[in-house]
Amino acid sequence: MGKSQRTKGAGYEREIVRDLHEVLGVASKRNLEQTRSGGGDIILDNFVIECKRRASIAVYEWMRQCEASCNATQKPIVICRADGEKSLAIMRWSDFMTLLGNELHESKQNSANNQAE
């Protein structure tokens, strides 16, 4: 991988960290040891995030790479963006269903609480 590709990748990782902070208020940082000791680009609680900014997309290859970086409790997420496109978050369907189920359950509880007031 050339220097310009590494620079492009590092810039995209910083962009994702900034978005996590500005949009969600979540503190995260890039895993600068990943090249030497492995692991995903960003570790966030039980999520391992692999960031890819490329002209072409190789989703399953990237997901396998991210899964290999996870321990038994972590969930892999690939964030990718093709040139000239918007970013996508890719995760296993089972992990998405759990996340969506938790969100819908919380939303339902909040709605019931608001109606009770």
35 pLDDT tier (thresholds 50, 70, 90): low
If DSSP states are collapsed to H, E and C, what string results for 28-96? CCECCCHHHHCCCCEEECCEEEEEEEECCCCHHHHHHHHHHHCCCCCEEEEEEEECCCCCEEEECHHHH
The β-bridge partners of 76 are 48
Domains of the chain: 3-92 (3.40.1350.10)
Residue 56 near residue 82 (C-beta atoms within 8 A):
yes
Q: pLDDT value at position 55?
A: 83
Q: pLDDT value at position 84?
A: 87
Q: pLDDT value at position 38?
A: 65
Average pLDDT for 7-15: 89
Put simply, whether the predicted model's pTM sits higher than 0.85 gets the answer no
- For residue range 63-100, list pLDDT tens digits in order: 999 999 999 999 999 999 988 899 999 999 999 999 98
